[in-house]
Amino acid sequence: MTNSTTNNTSSTIKTAKPSTQKSTKVNNTMSSTTEKVALSLKKRHQKENRFKAFGLFSVLFGFMLVVILLGDITSKALPAFHQHWVKLDINYQGDWLGIDERLSGYELTKQLKGANFRAVLKNSIYPMFVDEQTPKLSRRDKRAVFKLFSTNGEFTIRDALLASPEDFNQTVSIWIKLDDDVDVYLKEGFALGEAGLRINEKQAHWVAKLQREQRIESRFNVGFFTASDSREPELAGVRGALTGTLLTMFVTILLSFPLGVAGALYLEEFAPKNRITDLIEININNLAAVPSIVFGLLGLAVIINVFGLPRSAPLVGGIVLTLMTLPTIIIASRAAIKAVPPSIREAALGLGASKMQVTFSHVLPQAMPGIITGAIIGIAQALGETAPLLMIGMVAFIVDVPTSIVDSATVLPVQIFLWADSPERAFLAKNSAAILVLLTLLLVINVTATVLRSKFEKK
């Protein structure tokens, strides 16, 4: 559009007839400049369009990155939400269990707890895999058969029998989990012999047989949310890490919110403008940009080695994350406090309120929406933080769900880091699913921030 209008003006100038000598001269120089401009215009507009296209491309590139990142993780995570189970006919024979067949009642339950369920499982499953191809299972075959099922199969059948002891000496159908290698094989439809697939031809044949007999079923993976970490991918879940995260965040919020708000209130409302205040201000700004891993070093050297707090505990993790997020919260809170109009302070002071009453009854409530938003941003940052927690030992393999802030625990981001190191292919999906859980948590936090803010602002 600009192109055509400029062309028009330049052509009208050219066609205008010069009346005097002097004006012709002027006009000549003018027309030569405008001609130059006109000639270069096309090039300049091309340049403009290129520039604009490059800008648009950058924005689209950003979108593409988000889509690829989230899409990649989601697509990898989906398989982890369901899991394959297999129906086995388990024969609870007394001599396989290693107990007297005539037992019953209390004596039976007592003995069952220590009975040999692995033998029951093995003896029950081996006959299922004898066919014309393998009339008799060799020792190696037996091992291969046993490896098709999750290692906690024997505990599943034990719990089933303990729940209904009348099945003793009976044959019952019980669902147990398949091993993670088989699970991955069924989910991803690999060709045999492909890298990362740890199933041989015979095992694949047996799995196909189980499928033909309709013994294999895919179910929603409840265990992912109710189990803790495990070396076996089919048994591993995020509950322990999630609890650790919640405990750590509990400590972080409890410490960082009051401390941050108090610090901001002092600096904005009370602090005299002197060198010490300046020093604190510069300090806070610098702390906000210190790499998080340095806070981990501080935690290790001071909180653990000097004060002797327990390693790996959510308490220490919470303190370290508090120190890390405090600058963010203080900076955001100060901005919110600064935005409260001075007239409110002056009105309250004029009515005889003390400085402290003005601050806590008038300034703070007014600044609350901004403070809460800033605090939540800080908390969200702390929630995804990993590096400082590695330093203070929250990186251990922990199976138990932590129950207090001084128990050994791990957090969700660290769990993701640990699983990413595991060689088992099934952990890839588990890990992506754990990332989705973490991102969902972050989303919930951010949405809460937005909702809280709009609620406060309406008031």
Partner 1 sequence: MNSSLLFATLLCLTLLSYWFGIKRSINVAGGSEHRKELTCLPEQFGLLTAMVCGLPALITLLIFNSAEQFVIELLLTKTLPTNVQTLSSIDLGLYLNNIRSMASSASTAALTASLHASGDLAEQAQLTAALNLQHLFEKSSWLKTALVLIIAVVSVILLVSKFNLTFKARQKAEAIVKALLVASSAIAILTTLGIVVSVLFESIQFFKSVPVNDFMFGTHWSPQTAMRSDQVGGSGSFGAIPLFAGTMLITFIAMLLAVPVGLMIAIYLSQYASAKLRSIAKPMLEVLAGIPTVVYGFFAALTVAPVIRSAGEYFGLSVASESALAAGLVMGTMIIPFVSSLSEDAISAVPNALKEASLGMGSTKSETVVKVLLPAALPGIVGAILLAVSRAIGETMIVVMAAGMAANLTANPLDSVTTVTVQIVTLLTGDQEFDSPKTLAAFALGLMLFITTLGLNIMALKVVRKYREQYD
Of 86 and 324, nearer to partner 1 (C-beta) is 324
Mark 269-308 with x for binding to partner 1 (rule: CB under 8 A) and - for no binding.
-xx-------xx--xxxxx-xxxxxxxxxx-xxx--x-xx
Tell me how far, at minimum, the Cβ of 193 lies from partner 1, in Å. Answer: 19
In the complex, least distance from residue 15 CB atom to partner 1, rounded to whole angstroms: 21
Count of residues of this chain found to bind partner 1 when the rule CB under 8 A is applied: 88
Residues whose CB falls within 8 Å of the CB of residue 166, separated by 6 or more in sequence, listed in order? none
**C-beta of 281: minimal distance to partner 1 in Å?**
9
Per DSSP bridges, beta strands 216-220 and 82-91 are: antiparallel
Q: Which of residues 7 and 104 has its CB atom nearest to partner 1 in the complex?
A: 7
Contact letters (x/-) for partner 1, 320-359, by CB under 8 A? Answer: ---x--xx--x-----------------------xxx---
267: contact with partner 1 by CB under 8 A: yes
103-132 residues in contact with partner 1 (CB under 8 A) are: none
The residue from 184, 247, 340, 380 that contacts partner 1 (CB under 8 A) is: 380
Site string for partner 1, 63-92 (x = CB under 8 A): x-xx--xx-xx-------------------
Asked if 242 is part of the footprint of partner 1 (rule: CB under 8 A), the reply reads no
**Apex CA 120: angle with CA 114 and CA 124, to 5°?**
165
Answer yes or no: are the C-beta atoms of 231 and 389 closer than 8 Å: no
Closest to partner 1 by CB, 144 or 287: 287
Q: Stretches 153-161, 226-234, 339-347, 387-395: which one binds partner 1 (CB under 8 A)?
A: 387-395
- Of the candidate residues 258, 365, 397, 400, the single one contacting partner 1 (CB under 8 A): 258
| Alpha-carbon span 173 to 170, nearest angstrom | 10
Shortest distance, position 304 Cβ to partner 1, whole Å: 10
Candidate residues 31, 151, 422, 446; the one interacting with partner 1 per rule CB under 8 A: 446
Contacting residues for 13 by C-beta, under 8 A, at least 6 apart: 27, 30, 31, 34
Work out which of 144, 344, 395, 452 binds partner 1, going by CB under 8 A.
Answer: 395
Between 216 and 375, name the residue whose CB sits nearer to partner 1: 375
Given a contact cutoff of 8 angstroms between Cβ atoms, the answer to whether 295 and 320 are in contact is yes
Separation between Cα atoms, residue 23 and residue 20, nearest integer Å? 5
Tell me whether residue 58 or residue 173 sits nearer to partner 1 (CB atom): 58
Contact 236, 321 (CB under 8 A): no
Of 12, 15, 20, 58, which lies in the binding site for partner 1, with binding defined by CB under 8 A? 58
Fill in the amino acid letter for 152: N
The DSSP bridge partners found for residue 88 are 174
User: Where in 12-41 is the site for partner 1 (CB under 8 A)?
Assistant: 37
Q: Report, in Å, the least distance between residue 289 CB and partner 1.
A: 5
Residue 119 or 271: which CB sits closer to partner 1? 271
DSSP 274: S
What type of residue sits at position 162? L
Q: How far apart are CA 203 and CA 182, in angstroms?
A: 9
Nearest approach, Cβ of 435 to partner 1 (angstroms)? 5
- Enumerate the β-bridge partners of residue 86: 176, 216
Query: Which H or E run contains 175?
Result: strand 171-177
Cα–Cα distance for residue pair 192/207, rounded to 1 Å: 13
Rounded CA gap, 241 and 435, in Å? 12
Nearest to partner 1 of 137, 259 (CB atom): 259
Q: Please state the closest distance from residue 367 (CB atom) to partner 1, in A.
A: 15
The b/e string for 179-216 (b: 16+ C-beta within 10 A; e otherwise) is: bbbbbbbbbeebeeeeeebebeeebbebbeebeeeebb
User: Least Å distance between CB 82 and partner 1?
Assistant: 21
CA 193 to chain CA mean position, Å: 33
Judged by CB, which is closer to partner 1: 136, or 273? Answer: 273
Cα separation, 79 vs 429, whole angstroms: 6
Nearer to partner 1 by Cβ, of 144 and 445: the residue is 445
Cβ neighbors of 289 (< 8 A, separation 6 or more) are none
Q: What does the block give as tokens for 402?
A: 């932590």
Tell which positions 404-443 bind partner 1, by CB under 8 A: 404, 413-414, 416-417, 420, 428, 431-432, 435, 438-439, 442
- Among residues 178 and 319, whose Cβ is nearest to partner 1? 319
Using DSSP, state whether 419 is helix, strand or coil. helix
Rounded to whole angstroms, the Cα distance separating 352 from 361 reads 13
Coil, strand, or helix at residue 285?
helix
Query: Smaller CB distance to partner 1: residue 156 or 373?
Result: 373
Q: Is 18 helix (H, G, I), strand (E, B) or coil?
A: coil
Q: Does 266 bind partner 1 (CB under 8 A)?
A: yes
Residue 444 binding partner 1, by CB under 8 A: no
